[in-house]
Structure 1
């Protein structure tokens, strides 16, 4: 709740330049949010895009200011009975989610810190949390039940916002079609809103011992309910390519797939937030044994990047023609000058027209690669904890701070 008249009158007496000097010394985003809620003049100032860009000048220069850090785990809690019993008895998880800030991160300086430094622990439940995805300041996790039967029969997911401290635990999703193969996740937001309470979650999964078709489930945080699952393609015939976290573009979540024999071309699964309308289409793009992933270009087109040794090629979706057909064209072939980093490591879609690369070999680090400019900027060195052994998880935590403030506080400033 925003403070009233007396505080407003005192705040008006301070010139904008003085307030700029004050806010520029506030150590974290959360503290700046608290300042905005102190009085109406400060609220109006901290929802003014021009002032925000002045406060955070990096917002207008490139993409690095969006990356606040990484949430990571070096291991996941095992799926078997022994793992569940062992960790229930010992009352701790293999590796609780941990946050590593980038240099100068507005989510707070310093070294590694637990997720529960930002979000209330909910009676220890977050000690049994597995990272799934992150998008625009919201983190999606799976909460592990304390019994093997509940783990087999139910999926419990949680959304949290480390900046505001909000969290939302969904009711358990109990469905025989899930089985153990849950490998696709998406976070979608209502247009013009980034509030956690208005988010939607998509989950894909299939049971290889039952109906082998992949099923798509949709969850609405506003309604606190799961939808009836949508039946998609045969889960045993197609494999997920690239990231488990969907690429969201114009309100649709997209995942890449390849055929079981890997001799075919790529396929794309697309769905809107309710999972009622889905499509599974074959693409004119062949499969290569190298990192392949979806991203959104700077001109807001869905694109696919394939990294192979010292070369990257980029395919971009074109606008629909008069008959409603969509074509894909190879728009970039880039000879990468950072060849010693191109083997191994991890790649992520990052911002529009950029990719995020992690390498810890000699001379490695964390890089943002701007595809249109063909420029690679180093963010920081790459700690070994971010390049896990295949059993852990690492998700970049990024947010457009000016957009975040406008969406979080804009309604209050107009009130």
Structure 2
């Protein structure tokens, strides 16, 4: 007699299994991605977006894909620097000098040195050692013999050279965090500047009242001496048109010595400012405070025990935007406010004070990059917290050295990818 067949039941997963998996992915919300991005963009502070990004995998993915739009909609943090935006330093290892007074690099490409916050942002065990390592889609050789010129708002400006001495000036504006790069038309012949200052203006500067416009747009402003015509000239590249504008005569004359040692520009309300005091070059830096005030920072020490002191002098620039700014001979001499930041855990001596060089200041992160001679090394002074991070034992013999900070979009994206940060 055949055995009775039992009815086969189809194995069905318990209903709570699928729901629990969904909860692990999206925290139980049923809002579509675009609606979630709209909610994140209306949060009152960037820190709130960071907390949302690490809540669950789906929210982190939404923040990553909409990071640019979210960051442009958030109100800027007022009253404090943001050290977590600092990534690191691009620098040249100097081996000699050229007729252009620029250093000859001992290595083919600018080297990269990560700060502690940069190591957390990059979220990888192997930190890129050179600029070419950040751009997988490009031939790394394009950056050979290049030198860092300026950086701002997540972008880095490099001067590209096919060899240690070039017949033209070719500049590249790139984003190491995203891998984007734009090579500008070369300036050659009579258009070629010798020594020059460079200022980078991004979409936040160009369209302050329209945060959704011009996310990737930028302008690059050069100041240099036109020796053929005998005046200080200005020239601007616009990413929207893809070409250089006509040369204009500057209302302020700048000497060749000042241009030879000119540092990075500070940008306030769409206007670029350079430090032109030749005696103070290398010992003072020009920056912008979180409450949008122009300031000079320089280092000193307390006479008793040699404690490091950062002295900050603020300047009031009368007028509004653009041409409404008021100047006296192109310079602002008087300071309306001063403060001192004492770094108790770092000591200096007279030799350190004589040989130190201020290299770069982060506009958003408030870090001051400086080096000291005779093995004093490279350091980053945190103006927000009053602390110093030692970056390297070397540094004083570096050629061009430019710090790099990311923008909010790349920062939010990195937080979503690496929630432990």
Q: TM-score range by the shorter chain?
A: 0.5 to 0.7
The alignment's C-alpha RMSD in Å is: 4.5
Selected match of 1:298 from 290, 296, 306:
290
Query: Corresponding residue for 1:332?
Result: 338
Selected match of 2:183 from 152, 169, 186:
169
Query: Corresponding residue for 1:254?
Result: 273
Verify: 1:387 aligned to 2:379, yes or no.
Answer: no
8 Å contact kept, 2:193–2:226? yes
Give, in angstroms, the shift of residue 155 of structure 1: 1.6
Larger radius of gyration: 2
Unaligned 5+ segments in structure 1 are 1-8, 20-38, 263-286, 410-415
Query: Corresponding residue for 1:71?
Result: 90
Query: Corresponding residue for 1:396?
Result: 403
Alignment of 1:229-378 (within 5 A): 229-232=247-250, 233-236=252-255, 239-240=258-259, 244-258=263-277, 291-308=283-300, 310=302, 312-318=310-316, 320=318, 328-334=334-340, 336=342, 337=344, 338-340=346-348, 342-347=353-358, 348-351=360-363, 354-359=366-371, 366-370=379-383, 375-378=385-388
- Residue 106 of structure 1 aligns to a residue whose secondary structure is helix
Deviations 1:258-316 (A, max 9, x none): 3xxx6xxxxxxxxxxxxxxxxxxxxxxxx658612211123211112243555654332
Which range is displaced more, 159-168 or 300-309? Answer: 300-309
Query: Corresponding residue for 1:6?
Result: none
8 Å contact kept, 1:45–1:51? no
Structure-2 change in CA distance of 1:165 and 1:195 (3 Å):
farther
Alignment of 1:5-44 (within 5 A): 14-16=24-26
Q: Count matched residues.
A: 334
Which range is displaced more, 324-333 or 109-118? Answer: 324-333
Give, in angstroms, the shift of residue 125 of structure 1: 1.8
**1:382, 1:123 → 2: CA distance?**
25
Query: Corresponding residue for 1:52?
Result: 50
Structure-2 change in CA distance of 1:403 and 1:160 (3 Å):
closer
TM-score (norm 1): 0.65
**1:127, 1:196 → 2: CA distance?**
29
Deviations 1:231-257 (A, max 9, x none): 224443762597522111111111121
Query: Corresponding residue for 2:142?
Result: 125
Structure-2 change in CA distance of 1:319 and 1:117 (3 Å):
closer
Structure-2 change in CA distance of 1:248 and 1:334 (3 Å):
same
Query: Corresponding residue for 2:174?
Result: 160
Structure-2 change in CA distance of 1:193 and 1:174 (3 Å):
farther
TM-score (norm 2): 0.64
Alignment of 1:206-245 (within 5 A): 206-208=225-227, 210-232=228-250, 233-236=252-255, 239-240=258-259, 244-245=263-264
**1:203, 1:349 → 2: CA distance?**
19
Unaligned 5+ segments in structure 2 are 1-18, 56-75, 303-308, 417-421
